[in-house]
Structure 1
Amino acid sequence: MSAAQLAGYCDDHLHLLACAAARRSSDVRAATSVGGLLSLIRQGAREQAAAGGPGSWLRAWGYDDALLDERRHPTVAELDAAAQDVPAVLHHITGHVALVNTAAGRALGLAGGELLIERQDVLAGVPRSDRAETVSGVAAVLADLAEANITICTDATHTNDLEALELLADAAAAVPTVSITAMVGAGRLASLGDRGFGTAVQGAEAAKGGPGSVRIGHAKVMPPHDDDSAIAALVAEARAHGFPVAIHVMDIDTLDATLDALEAHPLPGPAVESDRIEHCALALPEQLDRIAQLGVKVVTQPSFVTRRAQKYREQLSPTEQEWLWPLGSLLRRGICVTLSSDAPTVPPDPAEWIEAATGRDLAPAERIDAETARRLCWRSGAGR
């Protein structure tokens, strides 16, 4: 596909700050075994110790335990041996979990031997780049999007608050050719003050007369620690602030809880935008019928079907594989769909999404034609 054909595409679900952080991290995506992963950690720790001196942390990113030969995470002892005394944080490619060695765990106040970290409040204690460096990193990510002819993007990060939106707006000032909409965590809407859905947030440069701004998007609902019982309360909180919601859904049980919450807390009056389901990785046919009845939009990532095919074949039954990452079934029900990357987990490359949507091996009944797939990379999507 030519650059001209890709012009104007939208990545409707990515994570700009995570993309910038991944660029600053040791990239371990090439590891295919625990031994290979530890070798990369060992090399990164040596480089970090030489460059940063005492107290410097190693941040590595991009491993997937399900795709390593051993199908497991490294142990604490293995990480300790590889990183030595350098505090090391190893981020899973999904961004939802991280591993820490003993030195990092001690600095974060964790109990001895605790390894797998899913709590964002704990990971927030890892030292970060200063604001200027972070803005510069996000601007570099936006420049890459522009180079790929992606001119619109939606940051779907559940930890976003007003401070994060202002930071993104400063980065947008440097790359005004990419329009940013950013979600805000459903539990963080109070940080916006009187700013509502669809309004603009300006950064420091914009306040000085620069062009940078970010549109406030949906309230992002991320069930804490996979506690689906929290979804209804977060949807209710979003409604109290006048926001449509975008709910993270990766399995059938979470989808059931999501649909129950949306039915219990409908959008009031004529909505400016519909609610969204993010991912929709597994869905029963009757659940898809409910999505259609509710008029909810689905923002999905077809690249996962091809990039994680081995994992799905090993971990899902043949019947579950037929329910995996529905696409054709959504469109046949008239559901509005857009394709996206979930970057940095998957590269923001519309050509890859289209190829995955049209040529997937798992659940081939969900394939769609190339022209439809191309249309789904635009913000408007397809269906109603």
Structure 2
Amino acid sequence: MSSLSLKADLLLYGGRVLTLDPARPTAEALAVAAGQILAVGGEEELRPLIAAHTQTLACDGRTILPGFVDPHLHLFAWASHFCGTDLGTARSIPEIQGLLARDLSHISTGDWVRGYSYDEFFLAEKRHPTRRDLDLVSLDHPVILRHRTGHAAVLNSAALRRAGITQHFTPPAGGSVERDPLTGEPTGVVYELEKFLRTVLPPLSSHDFTAGVKQASAELLRQGVCSFHDASAGNTLEDFALFRRFNAEGLLVSRATVMIGIDALPQLVDAGLAPFSGDERVRLGSVKIIVHESRGTLYPEPDELAEMVWQAHRHGFQLALHAVEEGAVCAALNAIEHAQRRLPRADHRHRIEHCALCPPPFVDTLVETGSAVVTQPGFLYFYGDKYAAEVDPQLHSWLYRTKSLLECGVQVAGSSDCPIAPLSPLTGVQAAMTRRSRTGTPLHLQDRLALRDALALLGCWPIWSCLIETS
């Protein structure tokens, strides 16, 4: 406990403090001074910290938790969602059309209409909207919908023209355009084209984007997330500077660690920036690489991926490899294993982001390479019905594993991946404990965590994978 010569600004008492510290798992009171926790302990133990200026607050038996650490979310993408139409609750294509039409009155003719977070699985039609569906919303506005995963989008005819996506368009490597099988014309549905689309869409106004960041930051605080990793693969040093600016302006309340996309690695090296440069409020994080399968092909190709991983590894950076499918997870682990053989690093803490399907042989590689898994337990609640319908039941024991990985010695941390799913750390705790969807569908109940472990999954365990033990 801190020295009793210091005095508290705030004393919480009469509650149940869950410390997540095995040496003292619970306490009755908590003292705060200068915005930091001064001490935890019994009420009588902390009474000497009270001074004339101390505010005391009776908790009446309520539970007090440590702040959450979210090691994987996308702050700027989330901020952008506040500037568009939320389609996450839509359950049919006409409902999507109605929500977009409602917002058209606020958008000038010719300006982009942006919708976010639809998912065809939850639509009555069980399909993506098409350009024709969105043309019924407007022919005078370019309209774009982003899938809730961020890996697909739908454009109306005006948006396709603006983007130059025609019958003869050749998508970048790893991307694809759905086409009418009779005419060859784009249907409006595109996959893995986010990087390309960012070059087409005009940026949000500074006013709207700043307001979105402020709203997202306030929501982080409201839900108790005190520290987060921004896991956006498109981040550059310019984005890092923007995070620092928002922090200096007081818009960021929680501490931010900013991943940098692999394309910006030469910038980091040329600038002489060391891993985790910055300060306690905003610092550089991992180097992010997206590994995914498209139409049976892996992107990046294994040799290219191995070289990317090697370059970041040899320069001392932590890697965060987005890998969802079994083949992508295998390729990511192989690349880490290859880099470690060339240059062993005892405490690299490379991370597999998502690791949605993790068969038993991969667990040994995770342990042998010292790699961590950053998973999303909340997905089991929000999207568990989709997994139950689309994933072979025999593979449910591989799906978003936690307990079974921990028992094998793998470092595991839980995150939200917001805005791919709602922030809601308490829903993540619930999902880690129950492994049931929002309708109650079970998904391999044997991997459920006890309450304290579920809290630690989103509380103190991310500290290791985020390298913030001393913060």
For residues 109-131 of structure 1, what are the alpha-carbon distances to aligned partners after superposition, in whole Å with 9 as ceiling and x for unaligned? 11154322322332111112134
- How many residues align? The count is 370
Using the alignment, how far apart are the partners of 1:131 and 1:240 within structure 2? 38
Residue in 2 that maps onto 1:205: none
The alignment status of 1:111 with 2:166, answered yes or no, reads yes
List aligned pairs for 1:360-379, cutoff 5 A. 360=435, 361-379=442-460
Q: Secondary structure at the match of 1:200?
A: coil
List aligned pairs for 1:169-208, cutoff 5 A. 169-173=244-248, 174-175=250-251, 177-192=253-268, 193-200=271-278
Post-superposition shift, 1:213?
5.2
1:165 aligned to which of 230, 240, 245: 240
Residue in 2 that maps onto 1:9: 68
Residue in 2 that maps onto 1:353: 428
The structure where helix makes up a greater share of residues is 1
Q: Secondary structure at the match of 1:266?
A: helix
Using the alignment, how far apart are the partners of 1:213 and 1:106 within structure 2? 43
Residue in 2 that maps onto 1:227: 299
The alignment status of 1:90 with 2:145, answered yes or no, reads yes
The structure where strand makes up a greater share of residues is 2
Measured at CA, do residues 379 and 371 of structure 1 come closer, stay the same or move farther in structure 2, by a change above 3 Å?
closer
Measured at CA, do residues 59 and 163 of structure 1 come closer, stay the same or move farther in structure 2, by a change above 3 Å?
same
Query: What TM-score do you get using the length of structure 2 for normalisation?
Result: 0.74
Post-superposition shift, 1:155?
0.3
Measured at CA, do residues 188 and 362 of structure 1 come closer, stay the same or move farther in structure 2, by a change above 3 Å?
same
Which is greater in Rg?
2
Residue in 2 that maps onto 1:216: 284
Query: What TM-score do you get using the length of structure 1 for normalisation?
Result: 0.90
The alignment status of 1:22 with 2:103, answered yes or no, reads no
Post-superposition shift, 1:273?
4.2
2:319 aligned to which of 245, 248, 261: 245
Q: Where do 5+ consecutive residues of structure 2 fail to align?
A: 1-17, 19-58, 168-184, 436-441, 466-471
2:107–2:113 contact (8 Å) kept in structure 1: no
2:83–2:208 contact (8 Å) kept in structure 1: no
2:257–2:284 contact (8 Å) kept in structure 1: yes
Using the alignment, how far apart are the partners of 1:126 and 1:176 within structure 2? 26
Residue in 1 that maps onto 2:121: 66
Identity of aligned residues (%): 31
Using the alignment, how far apart are the partners of 1:55 and 1:286 within structure 2? 53
Greater relative contact order: 1 or 2 (C-alpha under 8 angstroms, separation 6 or more)?
A: 1
Q: Where do 5+ consecutive residues of structure 1 fail to align?
A: 202-211
Q: Secondary structure at the match of 1:84?
A: coil
For residues 54-78 of structure 1, what are the alpha-carbon distances to aligned partners after superposition, in whole Å with 9 as ceiling and x for unaligned? 3211001010012212221012211
1:191 is matched by which residue type in structure 2?
Answer: Q
Post-superposition shift, 1:196?
2.1
Using the alignment, how far apart are the partners of 1:93 and 1:163 within structure 2? 26
Which stretch of the first structure deviates more once superposed, 329-338 or 30-39? Answer: 30-39
